[in-house]
Structure 1
Amino acid sequence: MFQKVPARALTDNVAEQLLDKIQSGAFARGDKLPTEAVLSGEFGVSRTVVREAISRLKYEGVVESRQGSGVFVTLQAGIRPLRIDYTETGTLESVLQIVELRRAIEAEVAAQAARRRTDASMAAIDAALARLDEEVAQGGDGVAEDVAFHRAIAEATGNPYFLKTLAFLSQYLEAATRVTRTNEARRADFSRQVREEHQAIVAAIRAGDPLAARNAAQNHMYNAAHRLAQLGADESGEAHGAAN
């Protein structure tokens, strides 16, 4: 019924196969899954791997445990959760594609924040930007503060789905963000550009100008991608020079 799983990425593979079977209707909503022992034998993996895969599906709301009865497919299991395979995000191209997606979302977030922000949410945005500036001035990379700044803008929209979507995307951009923030901190021109871009977003939100806020956010994310690509080009050039 199932394919044997290779040694690598066992838990991910088992979880994905189970999810495929559920979504194809092999296990309908409300159906009971085979026991850990049976699944372990069919997949050719340990029961621990099966248990971890099922735990992941539980977390995503696809299956649920019923005490004394086993594990069952939930009624909402037909709604497939959004996933991005970590193994697909290890290249500069894939990171830039995620940044491209985030640019579209950040633009709308900024526009809605400009429409809906309150005095309290504006104060929170100002405070987050001040903390970011202070961290950078002290020589830090400002990664956590940068994330908090963009979260404060998303919170100003009053739309929790913006927060959830950005949090989802940010986990795949954490390493890239750390690299770009470190690079920006080393280069005064980059650091100045980032600060000016942030200030433009905040000014537009404060003015209640959705169009200006959208444009400022798009410009910031476009430039962030450009700076990341530039870093990749610089490192490639250094490696080429070292090889020669």
Structure 2
Amino acid sequence: MSESLEGKVAVVIGGTGGIGAATATALAAAGACVVVTGQTIETAQRMISGLPGRGHHAAVASVADTSTLKGLADELASLHGRVDLLVNAAGFTRPVPHADLDALTDELIDDIMRVNWRGQFAAIREFRGLLEQSGAGLVVNVSSISGANGIGSNIAYCAAKAGLDVMTMSLARVLAPHVRILNVSPGVVDTGFVPGRGANFNDKVAATTPMRRIGSAQDIAEAVIACATHLTFSTGTTIVVDGGRRLG
């Protein structure tokens, strides 16, 4: 089976962060025309300037603001008429000890759910028509093993990722057969996503992970590529990429 994505149009929501940037780079290397979204046009433009290939596009969009997702979908409808792959890589969290219930405020819960669940659903909803135009559309959500094991930066984040896993199953039934939807579920990844986590934390996790290391953004990007090129009869399921972390 070919690993080429030549001629495919891929949108990476949150394409300037660690996992998103690695995924955008891998998609471009595989031949896709990549649309990278960021919080500012400057960050998105810097990202696409380093991508291999040509025809890439920078855009501003926020999963917290559905109007920006709709605007991007309308723009891409005019430019390409379809989207072959949508990657939901945007996310947000803040460390809160699970036992400190008072620190997990209503405001923080709402922010986490808005960015880590509602925003992903909104992106899929707004791009559904373009994905159906592909004839073989694919959505890949970046989830987390915290949605399955309940261990993560805070309880609300774990709940949001669990919700994302269930959403994927529900939407797989709705969107088939023209659009597939999969989750890629990392364990601990060596990015700056969780504030305050440094080398000491990473080393401790690596020592208790069967593969004896934490994940890299490239590990996750390669799993996204696999979803698009090899796992073509899979939908509604979660691909765990954690070095066996969930087994501990």
Shorter-chain TM-score tier: under 0.3
- TM-score, length basis structure 1: 0.22
Q: Which has the higher helix share?
A: 1
User: Quick check: which has more Rg, 1 or 2?
Assistant: 1
